Structure 1
Amino acid sequence: MSPTDASTNALRQTGDELADATVAALFARGEMGTFNTLMRFFSTAGAPVPDGLPDVAREYLRATSAPPAWVDWEEMERARLFFIDNDVHIATALSFASMPACYLVPHVAKLLSTTHGLNYPSTRMAATGQFTVHLMRPDAFEAGSRFLPAAQKVRLLHASIRHHLTRENRWDARASGVPICQEDMIGGQMFFSLLVLDSLHRLGIHMSQEGAEAYYYAWRVVGAMLGVDQDAVPATLDDARVFLDRYMTRYMGPSPEGAHLTRQLIELYEDIVPGTFLDPVVPALVRYLVGDTCGDWLEVPSTPWDTVVRTVPHLLGVLETIEDRSPLGAWALDRLGHLTTRFELSSLTRGRVMHYAVPEHLRKDFGLPDAPSRTRRWTPPAATLVP
């Protein structure tokens, strides 16, 4: 069913009942500090729950300790194989398309500024990278995995932001809906799934329909574990396209926070790229994947490398052809991609396991979001012809 104003507006008024109730109880009892301290030692599925954990938190961990019963494990295995085959390309898409897309939604960019300092995007990028890698491990949902506890903590992190902004009267819920509402969570699910597939296609990566559908399915499972109402989530890639196009048309636009976050993201990856000669490749790749209009909104600088980056799909297309036709070539390219992804992730994490602490307070300079764009919608610009 296609989304309507009524259905999407309803999603803006809904959060996550289970996680919201858990966070509210922890704060009401003054137990959030104890929870954060103890949860640092709870990072693998199946590990004993720490002694002294508040009862409400213990019940939350029990209720969210397993994936949804409807998971198709054969489809999840297809998603894992798709990830293994395309890990470096997926990492590129997440870094240079999905994250900037989040910054293109002004109220989302403002929300992100409440969970980490604007000057430290490496924390979020490292956490996102580790989260995805943990998800695509063969033991992701078994005892000893790091994915399940990470999902449980991220869900509480979202609930804590809703709690703070609502209780401290720093959010106009009547005009803007619930902070990190269901619509925004579904939008985020689209950024990390459908937008990644779009970016791989734009980069010239060869994908099967089955592989793309499996990757999207895996993020539906993730969404369910993060408290997203799957009855409202598009079940197919075609329906996801309708939702994402509508979501971006309703909300995306320029904002100071979005531009600042993008600038810090670019500087972060320029530091990872060896030397300085290739630094301009970073903004050029962002601009190529998000498009010139969005690149201008995010204040992504134009460089002479913009033209060079447009040749990347042709180069990757050649490599993809070699991979398709040669088992040895496929092995070598997969191995190179795996090593590249490991290098990027280790550069961001510095070998650490990323922890998700529930913030006990938010940034004091956080501002109220603009009124929702259903009252003043963005009109898509005319298509830009690229020579």
Structure 2
Amino acid sequence: MKKQAIKPARYFSNQTLADARQRGDQLADVCIQSVFEQVGITGLRTFFQWLVKEDFDWKSQLDFVQKYFQDNAVFPSFYQEKQFQRGLDFAQKHQADIALMLGCLSLPYCYAGADGAKVLWMSERIGKDTQKRLEETGNFVFGVLNPKQWKSSEAGIPIAMLRILKVRLMHASIRFFTLYHQAWDTKALGFPVNQEDMAGTNLAFSYIVIVGMRKNNLSISDENAENYLHTWNTINALMGVEIELLPQNLREAFVLAKAIAKRQFRTSEEGINLTKALLKVLERFIDNPLLKPIPSAFMRHLLGKEVADLLQIPNNPLEERLVPFIPVKAVFGV
């Protein structure tokens, strides 16, 4: 049997990632600044409400917003159609597992990044209406991973692509609102929703999902894993993440994830509060009161003790030992 060659991986230096924290997404930021200049802060809030809705009528928006959608509904240079489609097929096959990883791994993984968690908490949308925000995230994830939404369109642009481009503007709006309303230390914390945080979020929804599925005893081939990674890299390039911060293979994803975690993972009040709010929502999906500790035990199982402890996820030793043998999907009803 021919031995598989080890794929090369770029090194992401501390300086590279520190510089990335000082960059937002100029293209989307310019669009949001233009909206503000034309309709003011009240009009921008109204526009933001459109961004979070399941409404894809981009032709009814301001002229320069329409131009933003027209100009950016283009696949990135590295896009490979077959690999992208295979990634979508993989996601369709594993929808229930991905949904489980989304709530119990991807989101708390993001909350472990202390500086990025500050923006999420300050926006108040997650802390005050966690279940709605979780539903919005699920709608986005399974919308952009749905092959049908890449074929159906609104005024010539695939629905999935419109979802992505709307979230890109949503991120730019959050950057704008955070800097406009809050005392935000850009030098210390970086831009709100900066390139390092967006690169980390890409990993949380792609590579980290694969890691979690494997930890949950699912056999995932490297080929399927890299197809899924390519699909999310394509999505996040459309969402404004710089190509240089998108991992080209699983080994590189591992290197980048470790580099970002080393820089950003630490205990924060915001991360703890976000995780508590998430756990409360997940526990609502479980009818049997005896099984209420399962979400926290499953989170600890997937995240590992170190990350779980910094988020102060409740420690249930008995449940943790039983988690590998419990049909967790059935407990959540997925």
State the TM-score, normalizing by the size of structure 1: 0.76
Match of 2:7 in 1: none
Cα distance in 2 for partners of 1:265, 1:200 equals 20
Task: Determine the C-alpha separation between the residues in 2 that align with 1:125 and 1:169.
Answer: 24
Could you say which residue in structure 2 is the equivalent of 1:194?
207
Q: Which residue is 1:26 aligned to?
A: 35
> Structure 1 pair 33/202, CA: closer, same or farther in 2 (3 Å)?
closer
Q: Which residue of 2 aligns with 1:328?
A: none
Partner residue of 2:325 out of 299, 311, 320: 311
The match for 1:67 is: 75
Deviations 1:78-123 (A, max 9, x none): 1122112222111111110111111111112111123305132212
Contact 1:43 1:146 in 2 (8 A): no
Runs of 4+ aligned structure 1 residues displaced above 6 Å come to none
Question: Does the CA contact (< 8 Å) of 2:286 and 2:331 recur in 1?
Answer: no
Mapped partners of 2:33, 2:201: distance in 1: 24
* Letter in structure 2 aligned against 1:49: K
What is the RMSD computed on CA atoms of the aligned residues? 2.4
TM-score normalized with structure 2 length: 0.87
Alpha-carbon distance in structure 1 between the residues aligned to 2:79 and 2:104: 30
Larger radius of gyration: 1
Q: Contact (CA 8 Å) 2:87, 2:227: kept in 1 or not?
A: yes
1:352-363 to structure 2, matched below 5 A, reads none
Q: For residue 204 of structure 1, what is the aligned residue in structure 2?
A: 217
Contact residue 14 and residue 178 of structure 1 kept, 8 A: yes
Change (3 A) 1:122 1:218: same
Gaps of 5+ in 2: 1-9
The residue number in structure 2 matching 1:49 is 59
Counterpart residue identity of residue 297, structure 1: L
Within a 5 Å distance, the mapping from 1:1-387 to structure 2 comes to 1-30=10-39, 31-33=43-45, 35-36=47-48, 43-44=55-56, 49-50=59-60, 53-68=61-76, 70-115=78-123, 116-144=125-153, 146-168=159-181, 170-303=183-316, 304-312=318-326
Bigger helix share:
2
- Give distance in 2, aligned partners of 1:117 and 1:24: 24
Aligned to 2:3: none
Contact kept in structure 1, 2:119 and 2:178, CA below 8 Å:
no
1:372 corresponds in structure 2 to: none
Match of 1:376 in 2: none
Residues paired across the two proteins, number: 316
Supply the AA of the counterpart residue of 1:122: Q
1:260 Cα deviation after fit: 1.3
- Structure 1 counterpart of 2:44, which letter? M
Structure 1 contact 43–150 (Cα < 8 Å) conserved: no
Whole-angstrom CA distance in 1 between matches of 2:53 and 2:296: 38
Contact map agreement 1:43 1:149 (CA 8 A) in 2: no
Contact 2:297-2:315 within 8 A present in 1 as well: yes
Please tell me whether the aligned partners of residues 206 and 228 of structure 2 are also in contact (alpha carbons under 8 angstroms): yes
- State whether residues 51 and 169 of structure 2, in contact with CA within 8 Å, keep that contact through their aligned partners in structure 1: no
